[in-house]
């Protein structure tokens, strides 16, 4: 009896010690903003990688496509939870289970590729992992995981190893060219980037020689705007970075779009001033919602401009998706500008922008905004918008082409026809496509226009003709597509801008990127895979004005996780 009591006491003591050891050994969450430079252009954080993986494989798209039979939420949760709490397992399993991750984008190189107009954009970025694990295991995991990826990407990379007082470095370089992956391990922290200067910048933050993003008051506010504490991952862009990125994005758009040289030069003069005075910070978070990934974005605007735009950008009380009856079933994207009065909204934008910019640049604002609509066939918005609407849409028939269709409800037929004639030019021929009237400019760049069922369609002749032919056969329209109507039923009527996008290409890119990361090549997909892919509903995004800025929510197969994974897999080796 005494021996039994002693045994129970010993067992109880062992259990107590084991519990205490597990509690002491568990990962303690840290603020990953303390690991990246304060001047990062973009900051992304994910504090529970197993939870991210579990939610991704719980999506409807993953279940339908089933790219890997050995990846299940149950397996991820059980194994990773055990590895996280005990530290028992392979080095890579423990690192994955315990790591918090941050991504920092420090700079973007944008240049021309070859002699054409193709832009070659290369981000300078790094991934920072706080592994909550001993350095020896971190080194082993990084060398294996990143090394395997480098060999798949480069074939036989050159490998350079070196030790400094602070970190253990490994650099994998492509046999030819400047492509490389740079890694540095310091204690429990691993930094992997495509640019050595970015990795060194993160190490400088660790040494205290460079300020970190931690403690940034705007970061904390923006985290709250998108509820980042309950998200799978979240991101932040500071006001200065947002202005810089907006100018870059707009400049790239202007260079690649149909804007004329005069409009491009006007944009170059206006955009730096406008973005500096209008754009605040931006934030993003993502979570699992009903079998899909929901991305939540918030863009802050300065000087109480959001309040001034609340009424002009108020959504129409009754939504109208008639445009889906004017497009072929395979249309890639449809955007509905759900505004009560598009003309008033346009005038408000003019007034708002003009009030934020100094003379003489203010005189250029109206001209710039007018020319910004020229690619959609609208030359004089002040005349066109009162004659059309309030229902306005833009559409793209495929994801490869650059042409865009503009669809408008006809309000004043005579004025609208006069605007169309002005756009198409004097020498315009007319055809009948079913019951529709098709007007074709003699100048291919001016495109064509179609009038059908009380609506106007403008764009490239091929696209307008295809839309009119689809309308003549109702069963072949987007409105008859089950994958579109399924998404349409969930649209938010309170949104000012609603966009539907075919999710096939984005989903395929994500699945293939994961396959390459795991296997080194695209996995051969069956016919059932393509059928399941084609059955996915459209992604849906809804944008509206809220207090302090603009809010956008998107539901899609994999959300920004898909875009980030594909971008990483593509650019890590460039």
pLDDT tens string 228-277: 999 999 999 999 898 888 777 766 655 555 555 666 666 666 777 777 78
Is 378 domain-assigned? no
Q: Give the C-alpha separation, 454 to 288, whole Å.
A: 41
Top-confidence range, 197-211, 382-396, 511-525:
197-211
Q: Quote the mean pLDDT of the chain.
A: 84
Q: Which two tokens stand for residue 500?
A: 């539907």
Is 34 domain-assigned? no
Q: Angle at which helices 362-372 and 261-278 pack, to 10 degrees? A: 120
Is 155 domain-assigned? yes
Distances (CA, A) of 560 to 59, 135, 241, 518: 14, 31, 19, 20
Verify cis geometry, omega within 30 degrees of 0, for the bond prior to 90. Answer: no
Beta bridge partners of 168: 163, 185
Least confident span in 117-126, 157-166, 249-258, 373-382: 249-258
In the predicted model, is pLDDT for residue 21 greater than 50?
no
In the predicted model, is pLDDT for residue 289 greater than 90?
yes
With cut-offs at 50, 70 and 90, classify the pLDDT of residue 117: very low
Q: What does the pLDDT average to over 373-398?
A: 88
Verify cis geometry, omega within 30 degrees of 0, for the bond prior to 21. Answer: no
Is 144 domain-assigned? yes
First CA to last CA across the chain, in angstroms? 72
Is 263 domain-assigned? no
**Domain coverage including residue 184:** 87-212
Beta bridge partners of 101: 46, 129
Is the model more confident about 154 or about 40?
40
Is the model more confident about 513 or about 168?
168
In the predicted model, is pLDDT for residue 320 greater than 70?
no
Confidence (pLDDT) at 364: 73
Is 448 domain-assigned? no
Output DSSP code: residue 328: B
Confidence (pLDDT) at 4: 67
As for how many domains the chain has, the answer is: 1
pLDDT per residue over 473-482, tens digit each? 999 999 999 8
Is 157 domain-assigned? yes
Evaluate whether 273 touches 361 at the Cβ level (below 8 Å): yes
Q: Give, for 125, the enclosing helix (H) or strand (E).
A: strand 119-130
Is 201 domain-assigned? yes
């Amino acid at each position: 009896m005494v021996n039994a009591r002693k045994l129970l006491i010993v067992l109880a003591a062992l259990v107590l010690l084991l519990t205490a050891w597990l509690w002491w050994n568990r990962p303690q969450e840290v603020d990953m903003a303390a690991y990246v430079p304060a001047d990062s252009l973009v900051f992304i954080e994910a504090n529970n990688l197993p939870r991210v993986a579990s939610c991704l494989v719980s999506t409807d798209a993953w279940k339908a496509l089933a790219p890997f039979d050995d990846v299940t939420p149950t397996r991820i949760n059980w194994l990773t939870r055990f590895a996280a709490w005990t530290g028992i397992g392979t080095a890579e399993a423990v690192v994955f289970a315990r790591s918090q991750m941050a991504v920092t984008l420090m700079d973007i190189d944008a240049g021309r590729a070859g002699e054409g107009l193709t832009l070659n954009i290369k981000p300078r970025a790094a991934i920072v992992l706080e592994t909550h694990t001993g350095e020896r295991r971190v080194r082993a995991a990084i060398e294996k995981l990143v090394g395997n990826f480098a060999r798949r990407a480069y074939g036989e990379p050159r490998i350079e190893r070196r030790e400094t007082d602070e970190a253990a470095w490994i650099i994998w370089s492509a046999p030819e060219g400047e492509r490389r992956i740079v890694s540095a391990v310091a204690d429990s922290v691993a930094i992997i980037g495509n640019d050595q200067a970015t990795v060194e910048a993160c190490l400088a933050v660790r040494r205290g020689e460079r300020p970190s993003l931690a403690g940034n008051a705007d970061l904390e506010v923006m985290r709250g705007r998108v509820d980042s504490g309950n998200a799978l991952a979240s991101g932040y862009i500071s006001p200065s970075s947002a202005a810089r990125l907006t100018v870059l994005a707009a400049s790239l758009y202007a260079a690649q779009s149909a804007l004329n040289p005069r409009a491009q030069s006007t944009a170059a003069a206006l955009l730096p001033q406008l973005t500096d005075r209008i754009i605040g910070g931006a934030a993003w978070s993502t979570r699992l919602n009903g079998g899909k990934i929901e991305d939540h974005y918030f863009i802050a605007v300065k000087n109480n401009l959001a309040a001034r735009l609340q009424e002009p950008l108020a959504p129409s009380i009754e939504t109208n998706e008639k445009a889906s009856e004017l497009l072929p079933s395979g249309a890639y994207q449809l955007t509905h500008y759900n505004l009560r009065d598009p003309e008033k909204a346009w005038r408000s934008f003019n007034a708002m922008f003009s009030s934020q910019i100094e003379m003489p640049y203010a005189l250029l604002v109206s001209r710039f905004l007018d020319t910004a609509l020229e690619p959609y066939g609208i030359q004089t918005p002040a005349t066109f918008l009162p004659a059309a609407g309030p229902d306005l849409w833009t559409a793209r028939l495929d994801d490869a082409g650059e042409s865009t269709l503009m669809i408008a409800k006809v309000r004043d037929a005579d004025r609208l026809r006069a605007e169309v004639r002005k756009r198409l030019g004097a020498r315009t021929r007319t055809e009948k496509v079913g019951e529709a009237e098709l007007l074709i400019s003699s100048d291919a760049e001016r495109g064509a226009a179609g009038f059908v069922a009380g609506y106007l369609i403008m764009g490239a002749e091929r696209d307008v003709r295809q839309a009119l032919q689809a309308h003549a056969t109702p069963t072949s329209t987007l409105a008859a597509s089950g994958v579109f109507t399924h998404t349409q039923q969930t649209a938010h009527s309170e949104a000012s801008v609603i966009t539907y996008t075919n999710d096939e290409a984005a989903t395929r890119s994500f699945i293939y990127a994961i396959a390459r990361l795991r296997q080194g090549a695209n996995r051969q997909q069956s016919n059932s895979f393509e059928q399941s892919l084609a059955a996915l509903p459209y992604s849906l995004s809804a944008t509206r004005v809220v207090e302090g800025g603009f809010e956008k929510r998107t539901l899609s197969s994999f959300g920004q996780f898909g875009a980030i994974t594909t971008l990483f897999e593509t650019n890590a080796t460039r």
